[in-house]
Structure 1
Amino acid sequence: MTQPEFTPPSADFDSAMVIAHQLESACATDPRVAQIKPRALIRHVKGKRAIFHAEFEGHDAVVRLFLSPDDDTAAREWDEMQRLWPYMSEGTLRIARPLFACSAHGIVVTAAVPGTPLLEHLWTLDPADRSPYLPAAADWLRKSTAMSEGWRVASAKGWLRRARAASEKQPWAHLAELESRIMTEMARLAGQIEKAQWRTAISHGDFHPNNLIAKENQLTGIDIGGSRRMPIYKDMARFLMHLGRRRVDMGSPLIYGVSRAGFEAFCAAFQLEPVERNTFLPFMLGFEALIRVETESLPASRIRRAEKAYGDLLADLRRNATPA
Structure 2
Amino acid sequence: MQNTNPDHDDAIEAESALRDPKAALRATERLEAAAAEHAALASMVLDDILRIVPEKRAIFTGTLHGQNAVFRLALCDAERRQSAEQWAELSRIYPYMNAGAYRVAEPLFFDEADGITAISHAAGRPLMMHLWSLPRDARLPHIAQSAGWLAQYCAPSTAWRGVDWRNWARRCEKAAAQQHFTRLQNIESKILQKTKKLGRMIKEMEWRVAVCHGDFHPLNLIIAPDETRLTGLDLGSSFLMPIYRDIARYLIYNARRHMWAGDGRRYGVDGAAIDAFADAFAMSADEKRYFIPYMIAVETLTRVESKTEVTTRLNNSVELAEALFEDLRELTL
Query: TM-score band (shorter)?
Result: 0.7 to 0.9
Unpaired runs of 5+ in structure 2?
1-16
* 1:78-125 CA distance string (max 9 Å, x none): 222222222211111111222111133333211111111111110100
8 Å Cα contact 1:155-1:195 kept in structure 2:
no
Aligned-residue sequence identity (percent) comes to 35
Offset at residue 37 of structure 1 (A): 4.0
Q: Which residue of 2 is the match for residue 245 of structure 1?
A: 256
Name the SS for the 1:171 alignment partner: coil
8 Å Cα contact 1:212-1:221 kept in structure 2:
yes
8 Å Cα contact 1:237-1:285 kept in structure 2:
yes
Q: Equivalents in 1 of 2:303, 2:28: separation in Å?
A: 29
Size of the alignment, in residue pairs? Answer: 314
| TM-score normalised to structure 2 length | 0.85
Give, as a single letter, the amino acid of the residue that structure 1 aligns with 2:263.
S
Name the SS for the 1:230 alignment partner: strand
Q: Equivalents in 2 of 1:50, 1:196: separation in Å?
A: 45
Unpaired runs of 5+ in structure 1?
1-7
The partner residue of 2:303 within 292, 298, 319 is 292
Change (3 A) 1:192 1:35: farther
Offset at residue 214 of structure 1 (A): 1.1
Q: Which residue of 2 is the match for residue 223 of structure 1?
A: 234
More off after superposition, 240-249 vs 73-82: 73-82
Offset at residue 16 of structure 1 (A): 4.7
Q: Which residue of 2 is the match for residue 4 of structure 1?
A: none
The partner residue of 1:173 within 182, 204, 208 is 182
Q: Which residue of 1 is the match for residue 11 of structure 2?
A: none
Q: Which residue of 1 is the match for residue 60 of structure 2?
A: 52
* 1:241-295 CA distance string (max 9 Å, x none): 1111112121331101111111011111112222222222212111222222222
Q: Which residue of 2 is the match for residue 188 of structure 1?
A: 197
Q: Which residue of 2 is the match for residue 206 of structure 1?
A: 215
Name the SS for the 1:226 alignment partner: coil
8 Å Cα contact 1:257-1:310 kept in structure 2:
yes
Q: Equivalents in 1 of 2:236, 2:33: separation in Å?
A: 23
The yes-or-no answer on 1:301 pairing with 2:312 is yes
Q: Which residue of 2 is the match for residue 150 of structure 1?
A: 159
Change (3 A) 1:13 1:164: farther
Give, as a single letter, the amino acid of the residue that structure 1 aligns with 2:62.
A
More off after superposition, 310-319 vs 190-199: 190-199
Q: Equivalents in 2 of 1:42, 1:24: separation in Å?
A: 19
| TM-score normalised to structure 1 length | 0.88
8 Å Cα contact 1:26-1:102 kept in structure 2:
no
Q: Which residue of 1 is the match for residue 168 of structure 2?
A: 159
- RMSD of aligned Cα (Å): 2.3
* 1:298-322 CA distance string (max 9 Å, x none): 2211111111111111111111114
Name the SS for the 2:118 alignment partner: strand
Q: Which residue of 2 is the match for residue 134 of structure 1?
A: 143
* 1:164-214 CA distance string (max 9 Å, x none): 323322222101212211111111122234453221111111111111111
Q: Equivalents in 1 of 2:36, 2:200: separation in Å?
A: 53
Name the SS for the 1:86 alignment partner: helix
Give, as a single letter, the amino acid of the residue that structure 2 aligns with 1:301.
T
Offset at residue 144 of structure 1 (A): 1.0
